[in-house]
Structure 1
């Protein structure tokens, strides 16, 4: 389970909890289980790292289910783990929910690892699909490398205390919960059922609903018995905004955006007026900044990436015989490896992304910046400067003054050497509306 200090989220009181408390105050304490008629059950599906996007999505799903009068929320989960702060926000929502929350680890091949273990144990009902697994909740350092012994012990003990309290509250296997943190224990769905880590094993959501029929769970307002026989399942979509933010939270996407943004801005600086590289670069950098704020970033890695691109730019402007290009490649590779400060697998940038990005960055930078440099070094094509070096035809004898036709225009010309009518003459300089020229003896000289 990964740890990182992120900005907290203030959660508004749940409408369902307030309603339940008012009913309790008006009717008195309930001593028997309340029978919930299963009119509707909300299904929230989340696959990926537990991060602020996951916390917001599941919070919204629970609020929607409670406000809409749903009888339960099923969270279909498949996660490799994630951030400690986001995980705790979700668990707070679950433990204070006014309706039953069912965590269903699915589909087959899915898992509830690291932070997912905590979420599954915190659910009112925990279920898994065949072919899934749960476990490996040992804390992972977000700063990269190994934590010192004291800090490692503090982090581990904190996680153990938290997971034990969750397991005790739900009546689940406390010993295994501790092993999941201290020893990274992991089990299959059938082993989890035998060890009383979960409550059910179900093939899919319809099979899960059948097994939930008649099950009693304890909510803050008291015990509730589920009646799921005739339940209508309503899916709660993530929405385009959260889908986009989820994609941006991927370290590989953040890495790509930052690289594209830096190249775009530098290309615009070397090609003023190109507009497109600058627009794309600015948008990419802003999106990259959003991505990086939700990831454990090593700023030395960021600087190395930028330095690598700068080396590619310099290679296009300075004769270094390839040394700057090699330095750029090395800088980008080291920067890519150092960018994310975490040992967690799901926070690492893939080599399948690093290599193509480095090669493409070198090629694009050299091409775009090279075009800009060549454009700056190209002789002027318009105005007085554009006339220098141009060759015209003498319309009158130049002795030394006369008329010269050039670019379809007739100019006053002064020749340093007399020239006959029809002779070719090259422009040396321009003063006002007068051209100072010299005769061209042959076409090769022209």
Structure 2
């Protein structure tokens, strides 16, 4: 009986294995990932999640449909590292028509296993401007230290470019940076993009022109010059043209079988969407200021709890967002100094001196805070002006409150008692007891008084009131 049971179990297992249909080519998938906007920390997270999902789904190809004006250097390099380390081929597709792969997008296109563009798109303008270091724009006269060989090479390439197609969109050749750091930055970018081009057999000379001169190309001419692999009007066209092509996947060659792949769209996680919102510099600054206002209110009104909690959460989120962005620490220091001065003004009013200094330091720090060539990762002047105006308005309200409090009559102590009336309770000679402000007080007067009389308080000597008979008897005490 035991043997029969074992045989039945083995047969059932074999039937399950044989009955499970093998994954056919028609059921294989290509994962489509949308990259729309500047390359930043959210893009790095999105691509990492997509590549991980592609491995789990056993996808045959990852397609990055991209439209970007550029982005952060560190994020760009992280994306390229992920693409080069991917065990699944990655095709970067500049689409739809009218899209571009400018600046950082050009580097990503060169790093991809397949580089494809839709008709009516362009790439290029890859000159690094302030990539992670606040460097000046390339320009100025060449220094005497400029390498003569590099200058001759550029002249030869410029002469060659003048005879090529009329469709090419390229800027005037930019003079080399006059400072040593600028030249190092340009040369590093050239070496980087040439290495990517050689890795996939693409046009390295034009890649260098895109960096040194800010040159750009439309889709058709990019394919003719072997800057990209081909032009495709749709994702389905991309899959058809990519079928049978050989790409380098690490150290091995891989022949693509992409015809008929089922395209699955990859949806970004909530973490990616939250990161995309938080890493907007304007959102980061607003969150940080809400946090500061909340903490100031909490310190000024201990026990409120709510403003302190909201303020702490917003401040931490703002600082986290700023940590993901290329910061200029001088700007950050000025902003923190400005915030500290405004907090000091709220806690120990100095009639606007600390507050005005804080606003000025905060404004200058906001302008210097971020160091990026991408407009998407720069603070808007509207945001800077708005935050500064709100902060200034709050400071003016605070100063108005302090000024009114300074001019308001005293409500405690000697100054508060003087001028009020009191009722004589008992009297003997020149001293006795009076009822003032609902309390019994010892009192003295320069003339005898009678119980029931109303007197005026002229002053205090210790805990004894100085009174005088200046109020008629028929006027009730206050």
Q: If you compute each CA radius of gyration, which structure gives the higher value, 1 or 2?
A: 2
Match of 1:318 in 2: 350
Show the counterpart of 2:442. Answer: 414
Aligned partners of 2:477, 2:328: CA distance in 1, in Å?
Answer: 60
Deviation at 1:62, TM superposition (A): 0.6
Residue in 2 that maps onto 1:24:
none
1:282 aligns with 2:282: no
2:134 corresponds to 1:103: no
Q: State how many pairs are aligned.
A: 403
Q: Does 1:244 align with 2:274?
A: yes
CA distance in 1, matches of 2:48, 2:291: 33
SS at match of 1:102: strand
| Separation in 1, partners of 2:305, 2:414 | 26
Cα 1:226/1:275, change in 2 over 3 Å: same
Q: Deviations over 1:255-296 (max 9, x none)?
A: 333333334434443443444443333223322322232223
Please say which of residues 434-443 and 161-170 is displaced more in the overlay.
Answer: 434-443
Given the alignment of the two structures, is residue 143 of structure 1 paired with residue 128 of structure 2, yes or no? Answer: no
Distance 1:88 1:104, change over 3 A: same
2:21 corresponds to which residue? none
Q: Is 1:226 aligned with 2:257?
A: yes
Does the aligned pair in 2 maintain the 1:217–1:225 contact within 8 Å? yes
C-alpha spacing 1:372/1:249, structure 2 compared with 1 (3 Å)? farther
Q: Deviation per CA, 1:202-236: give whole Å up to 9, x if none.
A: 44445544544555544345323323425142323
CA distance in 1, matches of 2:204, 2:477: 93
Structure 1 residues 326 and 61, CA gap change in structure 2 (3 angstroms): same
Offset of 1:241 from its aligned partner?
A: 1.8
Q: Structure 1: how far apart are the matches of 2:414 and 2:52? A: 70
Equivalent residue in structure 1 for 2:118, among 129, 132, 143: 129
* 1:112 partner SS: strand
2:41 aligns with 52
Judge which range, 68-77 or 421-430, deviates more: 421-430
Hey, what's the Cα distance between the residues in 1 that align with 2:453 and 2:33? Answer: 86
Gaps spanning 5+ residues in structure 2: where? 1-23, 137-176
Structure 1 residues 379 and 204, CA, compared in 2 at 3 Å: closer, same or farther? farther
Cα RMSD between the aligned structures? 4.0
Shift of 1:336: 1.9
Residue aligning to 2:150:
none
When the two structures are superposed, what TM-score results if normalisation uses the length of structure 1? 0.74
Report the Cα distance in structure 1 between the residues aligned to 2:104 and 2:444, rounded to whole angstroms: 86
Deviation at 1:353, TM superposition (A): 1.4
Q: Distance in 2 between matches of 1:130 and 1:154?
A: 35
In structure 2, the residue corresponding to 1:166 is in which secondary structure?
helix
What are the within-5 Å matches in structure 2 for residues 183-262 of structure 1? Answer: 183-213=213-243, 215-220=245-250, 221-229=252-260, 231-237=262-268, 239-262=269-292
1-structure distance, mates of 2:87, 2:344? 62
2:142 paired with 1:153: no
Structure 1 residues not aligned, in runs of 5+: 1-34
Structure 1 CA distance, aligned partners of 2:451 and 2:124? 96
> Which residue of the other structure, out of 47, 51, 54, is the alignment partner of 1:65?
54
Mean alpha-carbon deviation: is it higher for 208-217 or for 246-255?
A: 208-217
2:382 pairs with one of 352, 359, 363: 352
